[in-house]
Structure 1
Amino acid sequence: MSLDYATAKKTLSCPLYAADFDPQNNGFLLVGGGGGEGRSGVGNKITLLHAFKKQELSEVIEIDLSRDEDSVTSLAYAQSTDLWATAFAGINSSTKEQKEGNNQHLRSFLLDYPPKRKTGAGEGDAAQGEKPPEYAGKPKALGRVSYFTPTTTAKPETFQRVLRLSKKRKDNGPRMGAVATGLAPEGEIVMFAADTNSPSSNDIRGRINLGEKEEAADLDLAPIVEDDDASNFLFAYCTDYDVYTATRNFNYNRSEKCETQCIHSNPHPDVFAGSKARPKFRSLRFLTPFLLILQNFPNGKGAELLLMQTSGTILLRKRLHKKIKSGTALTVCSLPFTTPAPKSEPRVQHAIAVAGADTSITIITLDTPPSAPYPPAGKDLKFKQQELIKNSHPTSITSLAFSCHIPPTTPWVSTPAQYLKLASTSIANTVVVHTFPLFPYPPPPKTPHEDTKPASGYLLAPPPHRRETATETLFSLMMACLAIALSAFALQAFSEIRGVSPEVLGAKGWLSGSWHDALVSPNIYGSASPQEVFDNFVSRGGMRKAPVMAASSVSTVLQGSGSSVSSAAAGEASGGLKGGLRELVRSRDRGNDTADEGNDGNAIVVHHTSFDEKEDNNNNDSPTPSKGELSAALHPEELIQQRHKGARKWEDLASHEKEVWKRRLEEAGQWAVEEGETVLKGVFFSGLAGAVGAAVHAEL
């Protein structure tokens, strides 16, 4: 399937490493990056973009950061309203401060939003002719804090590699956040309370030490749905080769140790394997109650998605396109239903986006049941690739972010079009936003007489059962047409080989001599070609004039006609030589010559007189053998085809033709089996097939 989408692209003044959509106002996009500490000409910045229009991005505000500090490596919205928002960012302090053991890597900012756009504009586009609103307020730095354990290495390189916040709950329950180190001597993950505008050390809710030179490639958090007090969170993270989970309470006691459990590890290769490299985990996201993991194969041999239970059981695997050597980023968005789905359609759709090292973006959907019990062993679960967006950026993609989708509750008649946005950034200073239209589900009523019900939800792709039905129907029609075409082709080819159809395909030349003799049938129309027979059939209105001959005549011709064999009309070639076939053969063989050279160039011709020939001869008042008689005569070889068109030597006859002639000669007493076929070599035979064909045609 191919998705329809609109694309908006903008180039900023610095490389970009992080992006996040405002969960309450999906038209505002926050991106951050920079050249790093001490890079002249390229500053460190956070930029707020106006992304309401489907094909245009505009800057609302640009926050210039200190060039003595590191670039922005991670971003996340903490809180937001229609008027303002707070955001967290990962920014390292200067090298000097880091050497002193003070790296305030987690920052918070307050952003004043411009006035809302005019009403009446759809979610995917602004009102016609409307200009982007001008920004009137100023951003404000709210605070900074250090959660990581200070290091005293000579060359500090630790930075905040990952920042993740749990989704905001509808009941305004607590939110948990987590940060993870990068390039640290000993990896570390810190969990903190995220329902604040200015995080502090008092907000820490847990700490996990990973060990020497071990890092968390990615992490994610999700509230435990079954929790009555809404204070327990499920935490998951992955290193290069292992996946861990932990449960943490928001009201954490600092004396409690955070216990983690390894639920899955990539196994080591076989001892005899040529390469000892193992696949590496790159990204991880919760698709409650599952885990979605992106892993890369060693040596750039591709990437795949894993759908895993929190117990560590892998339910599904999805290999990405073969041209994608590795995956660089992953993001997901669940499309919730405001009302329960019908029992016949128990689906909730998750939109998945994966960035490849080849600057492509793969869009995939996964339909899961809306509530427990979940299907065992991945039954009815399937990844479905919807789109492959190629060359979305000039160079490597650094981050992906889906906008949050909150479905409307109004009836279909007043529900505006709905959209899902996907933002991506790159180190080439570019940010791209793809806008995908969503499909209502269940679909709106087709007639105005039907009751209008509130929308249950929206899907990125149409319901699978409808799409599969249409696909199967089209496939069945194509297979039926193909079968009919092949059958017609085979029938035409067989008819041409048998000689009962005009040549169109030239099938007679496809077979070797032995196969041709086995399949070809006698020409039941005498010397007439199949095309001539067909033309005759059409010219006579579809009915061929057949001679008046009863069915019993066919038997007479085939079985009782050969009792008198004569050598009529041979005088003009041999001085009136008459007699049966035996006499002519003996006369020929007395010259010890079986190739007729001893008979002065004259050849023996055995002719079966057909019904039509008898009529012609009667009209000419010339003596002819009676109907169905065999005649043997000598003719000069150069005149044989003139007087007996289609005559062929014994050696050129097909096997079934030889059998017919032997039976006729034996019945006429002019040949016996013990004499062998050698005596018939060099003898021409003519007319038998024509007589048989005429009789059969008359019967039909």
Structure 2
Amino acid sequence: MVNQIPCAKITLSYPLYGCAFDPTDASQLIVGGGGGPGRNGVGNKISLLNTSDPEQVVELADLELSPNEDNVTSLAVGPRKDRNLTVFAGVNSGPDDIKKGKNQHFRILSIHQPGKAAKSSGVKISEVARETLFVHKDADTYQRILRLSHPYQGFPQLGAVATGLSKDPQVALFDVPGSGAVRWKLRGRLDIPKEAMDLDVVQTGPDTYQLAYCDDHEIFTVEVSKTGVSDPKCVYAIPPDEGQPTKASFKSLRYLTPGFLITVVNQPKSGGVALHGYRLPTEEQGHARLSIKAKLPHTVSKATGLAVRNLSPVQSPVEKQGEAQFVVAVAGNDSSISLFTLEHKAAASVELLADLAPFQVLKSVHPSNITGLSFSAFTPPKGSSKSPTELSVKLASVAVGFTTVVHSIPLKKHVDKSAPARKGGPPKQSRYVVALKSQGESPVTVITLVTIVALVLALIGQVFLEAKGLTEPRLGAKNFLPASWTIPLRKGPVLGSKSIGDLLSDIRPHHTQQLIIRHDEDAVAVGPDGLPNLHVGIHDEEKHGPATSWENLDATAQDLWKDRLKKSGHWVEDMGEAIFKGVLFGEIGGAIGNIVGEAL
């Protein structure tokens, strides 16, 4: 079994602040940084590195930038046209220009390569354009964040930049054509009350995008379409900790899919780091919900960066994400990188996050603080005769100590046993996952938790039996519980193999209260379709939460429920929808996500 991650390192002549892989070639890495204006002996540069050898990194070419201007602070790689690769960068103008109110911080560069087998002498990096995207003239402002949406062949990308150290924080959006990316067009600007700690962009349709950004304590989303750019909407706020004067704070943010975000959260007073996965709202007034979370090792008191890579990416923005594994990397203030895998599940038109698990901690990766992380793109190979180097995803990290380190994370083919067979193809669908085994919790911790849970459940069970008069009153619970708790309960039956029509017919003659169809609150109870069991019973809003009658459900929710009932064998279209009249329905999408998230 694979248990090591190959590593290669190179030391350059300048401190590094940004890195990004060529999205069409995982062997090409662009890095940038420098000493800023007026620093003796330390230049400002952008370099192209070759990472094809998992044990060696080679510098192919570099571009020496003006020593009178600032260093490179952010990088992103755009599309390729012919033999030219476009690179976007953040580089502040020199102090003299800034004093005059002129700061052309947005740089567009081109990397010309004569061919795939070109030697370093044939590669040329040149600047082709420089612009100003921020309108405020604050002398301390610089372009701290630069991000592009995921590239899809034949579709344009959306880019976003955000200010740093600005008295008037701003986010600027720009279009990047699908080819010939030297051309670009400003899409709009957002004036925001607090500076963005991080941001990301995702394409949601052929001509639509969503921007997500976070400040210290809140997450905002912005809708971008042909008709314009919406105002930021707060979809999540970190709740205050009881008894704590300060709250946890967001450090980094990335999209997993258009429906899910993952964030890095630093606890107050350097108290540790956590990864949080959120389900984004589908309606205008909704809020994001915490779906899954995990903690970093206790040796990491703060995080400094985040990178994510989908190992089964969709081929177009209109394609729905199926079963997939994501690789997640978090840089710590101890120069370590914590690696996690995260599963995306899709069944019965419902998407879930599951199994956010660590698989390795890379310790002391750099001798100084890590300033940038980037995963290479991974395209599943076609055919079976592929070299081992092709079955890997590369993780690059850079630091102020002039070092670039590239880890090659091994992958393997994985067959989804629950996936249906495809006609005319392999018996089961396959995808790629990390070849290293994820680390589980400590056995001592698990045993302790199981023991505590067993004792608590036994106590609850005894209280329940005493309240219903089904056992001797050893605890005397009946004397301390409200009368409503001691009334015998009628639990709604699991649907099992019965049709929904049969169960409703059985229950309705005996009850006048409203009936509800809902998901089992116990995430362990799973039906044949891999989702929590369904129950039919009397609606108790205090216990089950809010519910909506069939007539008041929107078309999307009705379709989701019909699809859920149909795939679990409880309803067919011949029954019609009349049997649902007057029946309440619980939450269909977020509820399942919460069940799985809480169980993990």
Instruction: After TM superposition, list the pairs within 5 Å mapping 1:401-480 onto structure 2.
Output: 401-410=374-383, 412-413=384-385, 417-442=390-415, 456-461=430-435
Asked if 1:144 is matched to 2:126, the reply is no
Asked if 1:113 is matched to 2:110, the reply is no
**Deviations 1:42-61, CA, capped at 9 Å, x for gaps:** 01000000110000011100
Instruction: After TM superposition, list the pairs within 5 Å mapping 1:663-674 onto structure 2.
Output: none
- For 1:266 and 1:426, how far apart are their aligned partners in 2? 30
Change (3 A) 1:375 1:77: closer
Change (3 A) 1:199 1:35: farther
Show the counterpart of 1:193.
175
SS at match of 1:243: strand
Show the counterpart of 1:278.
247
Q: What letter matches 1:9 in structure 2?
A: K
Asked if 1:307 is matched to 2:277, the reply is yes
State the 1:453 CA deviation: 8.1
Q: What letter matches 2:79 in structure 1?
A: Q
Asked if 1:316 is matched to 2:288, the reply is no
Q: What letter matches 2:14 in structure 1?
A: C
- For 1:84 and 1:283, how far apart are their aligned partners in 2? 31
SS at match of 2:334: coil
| 8 Å contact from structure 1 (residues 114, 134) kept in 2 | no
Show the counterpart of 2:23.
23
- For 1:23 and 1:375, how far apart are their aligned partners in 2? 27
Return the TM-score normalized by structure 1: 0.57
SS at match of 1:441: strand
- For 1:327 and 1:108, how far apart are their aligned partners in 2? 30
Q: What letter matches 2:111 in structure 1?
A: L
Show the counterpart of 1:78.
78
Choose the corresponding residue for 1:387, options 347, 350, 360. Answer: 360
- For 2:307 and 2:348, how far apart are their aligned partners in 1? 24
Choose the corresponding residue for 2:162, options 157, 180, 185. Answer: 180
Q: What letter matches 1:66 in structure 2?
A: S
Structure 1: gaps (5+ residues)? 118-131, 340-345, 445-450, 477-700
- Farther off after superposition, 132-141 or 4-13: 132-141
State the 1:371 CA deviation: 6.7
Q: Which runs of 4+ in 1 moved over 6 A?
A: 451-455
Instruction: After TM superposition, list the pairs within 5 Å mapping 1:559-638 onto structure 2.
Output: none
Q: What letter matches 2:246 in structure 1?
A: A
State the 1:91 CA deviation: 0.4
- For 1:304 and 1:290, how far apart are their aligned partners in 2? 17
State the 1:186 CA deviation: 1.1
State the 1:278 CA deviation: 1.3
| 8 Å contact from structure 2 (residues 61, 120) kept in 1 | no
- Bigger share in helix: 1
Q: What letter matches 1:191 in structure 2?
A: L
Show the counterpart of 1:589.
none
Asked if 1:260 is matched to 2:232, the reply is yes
Identity, in percent, stands at 33
State the 1:82 CA deviation: 7.0
State the 1:374 CA deviation: 2.6
- For 1:405 and 1:61, how far apart are their aligned partners in 2? 24
Show the counterpart of 1:97.
97
State the 1:462 CA deviation: 6.6
Asked if 1:400 is matched to 2:400, the reply is no
SS at match of 1:382: strand
State the 1:440 CA deviation: 1.3
Change (3 A) 1:13 1:414: closer
- Bigger share in strand: 2
Show the counterpart of 1:365.
341
Q: What letter matches 2:310 in structure 1?
A: S
- For 2:56 and 2:250, how far apart are their aligned partners in 1? 35
Show the counterpart of 1:9.
9
Asked if 1:325 is matched to 2:294, the reply is no
- For 2:16 and 2:348, how far apart are their aligned partners in 1? 40
SS at match of 2:121: coil
Show the counterpart of 1:243.
219
- For 2:81 and 2:344, how far apart are their aligned partners in 1? 31
Show the counterpart of 1:37.
37
State the 1:268 CA deviation: 3.4
- For 1:191 and 1:287, how far apart are their aligned partners in 2? 20
Q: What letter matches 1:291 in structure 2?
A: L
- For 2:227 and 2:203, how far apart are their aligned partners in 1? 15
Choose the corresponding residue for 1:234, options 200, 210, 213. Answer: 210
- For 1:351 and 1:179, how far apart are their aligned partners in 2? 25
Show the counterpart of 2:48.
48
Change (3 A) 1:111 1:44: same
**Higher RCO (C-alpha 8 Å, min separation 6):** 2
| 8 Å contact from structure 1 (residues 337, 458) kept in 2 | no
- For 2:115 and 2:347, how far apart are their aligned partners in 1? 40
Asked if 1:168 is matched to 2:151, the reply is yes
State the 1:277 CA deviation: 1.4
**Deviations 1:593-616, CA, capped at 9 Å, x for gaps:** xxxxxxxxxxxxxxxxxxxxxxxx
Q: What letter matches 1:321 in structure 2?
A: P
Show the counterpart of 1:290.
260
Show the counterpart of 1:216.
196
| 8 Å contact from structure 1 (residues 333, 404) kept in 2 | yes
Show the counterpart of 1:697.
none
- For 1:222 and 1:28, how far apart are their aligned partners in 2? 23
Change (3 A) 1:413 1:55: closer
**Deviations 1:677-699, CA, capped at 9 Å, x for gaps:** xxxxxxxxxxxxxxxxxxxxxxx
SS at match of 1:51: strand
- For 2:415 and 2:338, how far apart are their aligned partners in 1? 26
Show the counterpart of 1:656.
none
Show the counterpart of 1:597.
none
| 8 Å contact from structure 1 (residues 113, 135) kept in 2 | no
SS at match of 1:438: strand
In the alignment of these two chains, the number of paired residues is 421
SS at match of 1:323: coil
| 8 Å contact from structure 2 (residues 275, 295) kept in 1 | yes
State the 1:35 CA deviation: 0.6
| 8 Å contact from structure 2 (residues 17, 73) kept in 1 | yes
- For 1:72 and 1:149, how far apart are their aligned partners in 2? 20
Q: What letter matches 2:133 in structure 1?
A: Y
Show the counterpart of 2:63.
63
Q: What letter matches 1:222 in structure 2?
A: V
| 8 Å contact from structure 1 (residues 413, 452) kept in 2 | no
- For 1:77 and 1:266, how far apart are their aligned partners in 2? 32
State the 1:455 CA deviation: 8.0
**Deviations 1:373-416, CA, capped at 9 Å, x for gaps:** 2356x5xx121101100000001100100000011232x25676
Change (3 A) 1:261 1:60: same
| 8 Å contact from structure 1 (residues 409, 454) kept in 2 | no
Q: What letter matches 1:350 in structure 2?
A: F
Change (3 A) 1:302 1:82: farther
- For 2:255 and 2:398, how far apart are their aligned partners in 1? 22
Change (3 A) 1:337 1:238: closer
